[in-house]
A = this chain, B = another copy of it.
Amino acid sequence: MSSERIDIHPISGFPEWLPNMRLAELRLIDAISRQYERYGFTPIQTPIVEQWDILTAKSGAQRQIFTVGRPQEGEQDEDQLGLRFDLTVPLARYVVQHANELTFPFRRYAIDKVWRGERPKRGRYREFYQCDIDVIGMGQLDLAFDAEVACTINSTLETLGVPDFQIRFSNRKVLTSLLASHGMDAQAQTDVMRLVDKAGADLRSVRRVLNEAGIAPDAVASISQLIACADIDAASQVQGVDPEGLDDMRAVLKDCQLLGMPSGRLIPDFTIARGLDYYTGSVFETFVTGHEQWGSVCSGGRYDDLAGYFSNQKYPGVGVSIGLSRLFALLTHMGLLDSTRKTPTQVLVAMQDRANLYQEYLALAGEIRSAGLACEVYLQQKSLRDQLGYASNLGIPIVLIVGGNEHANGQVLVKDMKAGGQELIVRTELLETLKARLIQP
């Protein structure tokens, strides 16, 4: 071994959790997966790398992408590779590549990391999780899926224990038709959409941003009138707005109601524009009530053409993505995540009398594991006090102690590390006792 030690330091923008936080994060991921699967979304996973030309097909992304270098083995004919920066580009590539083997509409979810080479700042990571669901049609996809996707998110956030939240939504066609009525072409519409998205929900700041960008005053007035509308009927009165987008919004609202979404959960909001220019219909953003300043924890929408860069076949779709890192931070901030446990272990079998009862301890652990509980035996040579300290440090809820007396009497001392009490239990009733204490209904 070298005598010069390597200097170890965290890599900026690449977070890493201690066991208690990773356990909490995994529980969150498991709950989200379970809920996504309950709605019939199927998990797929793509390689972390994609061809460079696929990642950069859309201009603008290039500067964010990490390159992945090939080893120096003279393999000149290989692709240049980059790390994926979202889960949508890989989905588009996957759908086109495997179209003949997939069944459409294709409902997929993906919970995976993505990487962006941005300069890290204020809780902005270079490696972070996204949790995406999308339904992809071949040629055509019914509007009913927009509501389905919104409802999946609603029930997922409910399952996670988020006390109250609003899914604010609009439809790109509404603002687009208004802008077209002012003679703007597709590029100008996209630019305005991005400005509105950037300005956020505040009417005055939208107006200022649009004026600064040199948008014509009558257009600014129209846009201001639209985004000030509190409901769909009001928006239908704005001159230049084509009714199609509003009809879509009414249909989505009605379906969500039929699917059992509580009233007031899905709210029309004409300030919602989304910055990405591939959205063509519904657009969603989700805010936790009382924590709106954290930004949207789940965003998405409908797009006409997922894979226009790779295929002549049209693949319309609708999808949303939970920003897991932000949601995790917010739930932690709100005290809604239990991060006291630093191990999955529920029961520690103390090693009190190694010389005589070693076999008994190992057998006990085997039985407890067979009952589906997480258990370990303390295998180091330490005092009982140290062993209890170990359990306490890790947040292990129960310690079992069996000394010569207990063993002779067919008993086990069950020590509750949280409540602090202890109880002598007949050995044959141990599993029942542990299950009753540990398995939440």
Contact = CB atoms under 8 A, between A and B. Distances in A.
B83 A68 contact: yes
Interface stretch (A136-144, A225-233, A329-337): A136-144
A134 interface: no
A380 interface: yes
B375 A40 contact: yes
A40 B97 contact: no
B6 A344 contact: no
Interface in A98-154: 98, 101-103, 105, 107-108, 113, 115, 117-119, 127, 137, 140-142, 144-145, 148
A115 B127 CA distance: 17
A69 interface: yes
Interface stretch (A175-183, A362-370, A428-436): A362-370
A344 B5 contact: no
Contacts of A376: 39-40, 107
Interface in A366-398: 366, 369, 372-377, 379-381, 390, 393-394
Interface size class of A (residues with CB under 8 A): 35 or more
Nearest to A108: B19
A309 interface: yes
Interface stretch (A44-52, A160-168, A241-249): A44-52
A304 to B, nearest CB: 10
B103 A47 contact: no
Contacts of A344: 37-38, 40-43
B375 A8 contact: no
A54 B8 contact: yes
A70 interface: yes
A422 B441 CA distance: 34
Nearest to A115: B48
B103 A57 contact: no
B309 A6 contact: yes
Interface in A1-60: 1-2, 5-6, 8-12, 14-19, 22-23, 26, 37-51, 53-54, 57
Interface in A302-328: 305, 308-312
A308 B1 contact: yes
Given A68-B69, A376-B107, A22 B45 contact: yes
A382 to B, nearest CB: 10
A305 B1 contact: yes
A212 interface: no
Contacts of A15: 47
Contacts of A47: 11, 14-16, 127
A81 interface: yes
A369 B309 contact: no
B2 A308 contact: yes
Contact of A363 (B118, B127, B258): B258
B1 A309 contact: yes
Contacts of A377: 148
Given A66-B68, A68-B67, A53 B259 contact: no
A2 B103 CA distance: 27
Contacts of A65: 71
Interface in A239-261: 255, 258-260
Nearest to A360: B258
Contacts of A97: 8, 10
A64 B73 CA distance: 10
Interface in A323-363: 342-345, 358-359, 362-363
21 contacts: A5-B310, A8-B54, A8-B310, A10-B97, A11-B50, A15-B47, A19-B44, A22-B44, A37-B344, A39-B369, A42-B345, A43-B344, A48-B48, A63-B73, A66-B68, A67-B69, A73-B117, A75-B119, A103-B342, A255-B362, A258-B362
Given A1-B308, A40-B376, A42-B345, 15 more contacts: A6-B51, A8-B310, A11-B49, A17-B45, A22-B44, A22-B45, A38-B372, A42-B342, A47-B127, A63-B71, A71-B118, A107-B376, A140-B380, A142-B379, A260-B363
